[in-house]
Amino acid sequence: MANFEISFSWSVITIFMFLHLYNMVDADKVCENVLKLLRPQPGSMVIGANTGTIEPGEMVLKPPMCEPGEHKTAFRHSRETMLELWERATANLGIKAKISVEYDEYEIREREQGVKLNGGWEKENRFFQGNKERRIFFTVEFL
């Protein structure tokens, strides 16, 4: 079998609804690995969105998100913890970057209006429910 190295390098990577699947330690590794796929030049960037909350923390997963009897956790991020996650990843790799993390204000207003008009709106229209839950948008741009 031939011995060769495959190298990928992109200017933009998108990761949507992905980081909430990991605990904090694994999310750190994922973010560093994603950054390593980018071209090491100004303007290269990661663009993404994630489910999140205004009350961040570790949550224990239950089947079908893990095997019965398996102990597995995931971290629900806030805007602040998502920013810290990308700051750690870029610092660990020595990358200078502009990082932007914001809650989806449109989604917040849409939820508030929908619930006001119809008590069942949230259950019918959202994958994640509750007034503390948020969609988070983020960008990490190399300087």
For the segment 80-107, what is each residue's pLDDT rounded down to a tens digit?
Answer: 999 999 999 999 999 999 999 999 876 7
pLDDT for position 139: 98
Place of tokens 């100004």: 42
Given CA atoms 84, 86, 89, 93 in this order, what sign does their dihedral have?
Answer: negative
Round the average pLDDT of the chain to a whole number and report it: 86
- What is this structure's pTM? 0.81
Reply yes or no: is the peptide bond before residue 64 cis, omega within 30 of 0: yes
Quick one: pLDDT band at residue 114, thresholds 50, 70, 90? Answer: low
CB contact at 8 A, 20 and 59 = no
Angle value at C-alpha 68, between 67 and 72, nearest 5 degrees: 60
Residue 42: partners with Cβ closer than 8 Å, 6 or more residues away: 142, 143
- Report whether pLDDT(4) > 60: no
Amino acid at 91: A
Per-residue pLDDT of 62-77, as tens digits, reads 888 788 998 888 999 9
φ, ψ for residue 27 (rounded to 5)?
-65, -40
Place of tokens 């207003």: 109
Fold of 12-104+134-142: Rossmann fold (3.40.50)
- Report whether pLDDT(126) > 70: no
Measured in whole angstroms, how far is the alpha carbon of residue 51 from the centre of its chain?
7
State the average pLDDT over residues 2-10: 60
pLDDT for position 108: 66
Per-residue pLDDT of 19-51, as tens digits, reads 988 999 999 999 999 999 999 999 999 999 998
- Report whether pLDDT(1) > 50: no
The Cα–Cα gap between 13 and 16 comes to 10
